[in-house]
Structure 1
Amino acid sequence: MTTTTTPRSAIAPRTSSVPVKKRPFPLVRHSLALAKRSLIKTMRTPEALIDVTLQPAIFLVIFTYIFGGAVAGGTEKYLQFLLPGILAQTIATGAIAIGVNLNTDMEKGIFDRFKSLPIPRSAPLVGSVFGDVVRYVVVIISTFLVGYLMGFRILTNPLSALAGCLLAIVFALSLSWVSVFVGMKVRTSGAVQGIMFLIIMPLSFASNVFVPAASLPSWMQTFVQWNPLTHLVAAMRGFFLGVPMGNSVYYTLLWCLGLVVVFMPLALRAYRKKV
């Protein structure tokens, strides 16, 4: 009796020699995926949008009808002056939420899970900043909606108005890195909110948001002239109302660049140390 033996090479599993191709731009891809996570989280908790929906409406109503006559001699004239300032202030305070949310996620251990994933270390922070774009778009829509119901009108053209809105969003994204850095450094979300309000409130009131900058005390003028919100508001009034804005757009963009260059590396460094 004879038996046939199958060659060992015939039953050995075949291994593919084709190398696995890595997809390019991992930071961008993973950041966008985590930005989608932030958007889903926001949509499932709509009460988190109160600060970017009700707050600008309340501020517009209060300041227009209480201070409009005293500041500008009439509510309609003051509304035209006030709305770009309220939009800038609200979009700046809206950046506080990202630091609070990131600090809360750190406390819950969510970033420990991110650390175990094969993603760039900075992707969770970059993704959170990208995800905040929706909050800023909501600020713009809600502010203009309430303003138009009250009588505000854009006096330029849609393209100029869009440029003003985009400039505000770019500034908010840049300012977000300050909030991210604070969120990585302090121990509680309440402390993040308190520190950021201490930063945003002086910027809001020592500026041209509510009154013309020239009407402020002389000892405050130097701070007002260097205040980034002053330049942002002046640029937005130029884009929306057609008033002269000088070099405000360039100064605003320089402030945006400076905020990103300084606080983005600091935030990423604090994040790496914390996780």
Structure 2
Amino acid sequence: MNALNLAVADGITIAKRNALKIRRAPDLLGGVIMLPTVFVLLFTFVFGSMVDLPGISYGEYLLPGIFVMTIVTSGQITGYTLTLDLQKGIFDRFRTLPMSPSAVLTGQTVSDVIMNVTSIVTMALVGLLVGWRINGSPMEAVLGFLMLILFSYAFSWVTATVALALRTPEVFNNVATILSFPLVFLSNAFVDSARLPGPLRLIAEWNPVSTLVQGARELFGNTSPAIPRPTAWPLQHAVPVSLLWSVVLLVVFVPLATRLYKRAVSR
């Protein structure tokens, strides 16, 4: 068996291990199913009753932003799980096995894709129940979901890199929360970025979260001709730029996370 086949086989084994761990951990399953449900219901009924948008309900405008917010917050599970395995010495056990060094990270991120798919499906079903609709074509809707899943996979590698650099669950949770909140709230997930003041508007318009949210809105048909189109270049080309962001994140953080993992297990 060549090195590539070995890496793939080892990655599948680790992904199965993590998937079994998710199934046997009620708190993780609750986070995957219950948290997105609460997000959809809370933001739709609380904010939806206070925000009026021309030509579209706030619930339809909001739900793509909730999709992306959940992806960003769920991505922290990758880092938290890795820091727990580091703390418990699981990596030391893996080091004694004849397995590919990249398999642990590949398996972890693939299992997190399963969680994110479950979370997105849950949010979509709850959203349909509370009035959200896909107004685009079926092919555009499929592309929208695939774009979200690809970004969630790429973002898992970002959190894996941060986790391997910090190495402890407590520190990682604090840093991840500090980083993820501005990433989500300084975006167009909840309000039009054009309404933000000067510097904050510039940050929001070039924020990859804003680009992903705008791309999802366009593909799901959750836009209104009565709302002016964004003027910033990333938001005018939201779908291709979102796909480009995912590729860039993978190109940068896959080798970086792998290097940090090798350094962690060699100590």
TM-score between the two structures when normalised by the length of structure 2: 0.89
Pairing 1:141-156 to 2, within 5 Å after superposition: 141-156=121-136
Question: Which residue in the other structure is 1:78 paired with?
Answer: 58
Counterpart of 1:273 in structure 2 is 263
Q: Is the 8 A contact 2:23 2:29 kept in 1?
A: no
- Contact kept, 8 Å, 1:84 with 1:236, in 2: the verdict is yes
Partner of 2:178: 198
Instruction: Show the counterpart of 1:249.
Output: 239
Task: Please state how far the C-alpha of 1:164 moved relative to its aligned partner.
Answer: 0.7
1:77-116 Cα offsets, whole Å, 9 max, x none, are 0100011100111011110001000110111111111111
Q: Distance in 2 between matches of 1:257 and 1:153?
A: 29
Residues 85 and 36 of structure 1: CA distance in aligned 2, closer, same or farther (over 3 Å): same
Equivalent of 2:119 in 136, 139, 143: 139
Q: Is the 8 A contact 1:207 1:229 kept in 2?
A: yes
* Deviation at residue 47 of structure 1 after TM alignment: 2.1
Partner-residue secondary structure (3-state), 1:71: coil
Is the contact between residue 179 and residue 192 of structure 1 (CA under 8 Å) also seen in structure 2? no
Superposition deviation, residue 56 in structure 1: 2.1
- Structure 2 Cα separation of the partners of residues 188 and 102 of structure 1: 9
SS in 2 for 1:155: coil
Unaligned segments of structure 2, at least 5 residues: 224-228, 230-234
Tell me the percent identity: 37
| 1:184 aligned partner, one-letter code | L
Secondary structure at 1:25's aligned position in 2? helix
Contact 2:61 2:222 in 1 (8 A): no
Equivalent residue in structure 2 for 1:240, among 212, 220, 223: 220
| Cα distance between partner residues in 2 of 1:250 and 1:235 | 8
Structure with greater Cα Rg: 1
State the Cα deviation string for residues 62-82 of structure 1 (Å, max 9, x = none): 2222222332269x7010001
Q: Is the Cα–Cα contact under 8 Å of residues 207 and 213 in structure 1 kept in the other structure?
A: yes
Matches within 5 A, 1:3-22: none
> C-alpha root-mean-square deviation of aligned residues, in Å?
1.9
- Is 1:44 paired with 2:31? no
How far did residue 176 of structure 1 move? Answer: 0.8
Number of residues of Structure 1 aligned to a counterpart in Structure 2: 254
Where relative contact order (Cα < 8 A, 6+ residues apart) is larger, the structure is: 2
What are the equivalent positions in structure 2 for 1:1-275 lying under 5 Å apart?
25-72=5-52, 77-241=57-221, 243=223, 246-275=236-265
- Cα 1:23–1:202 shift into 2, 3 Å: closer
Question: Which amino acid in structure 1 is aligned with residue 67 of structure 2?
Answer: L
**Alignment CA distance shift 1:158-1:108 (3 Å):** same
Per the TM alignment, residue 24 of structure 1 is displaced from its structure 2 partner at its CA by 5.7
- Counterpart contact for 1:52–1:90, Cα < 8 Å: no
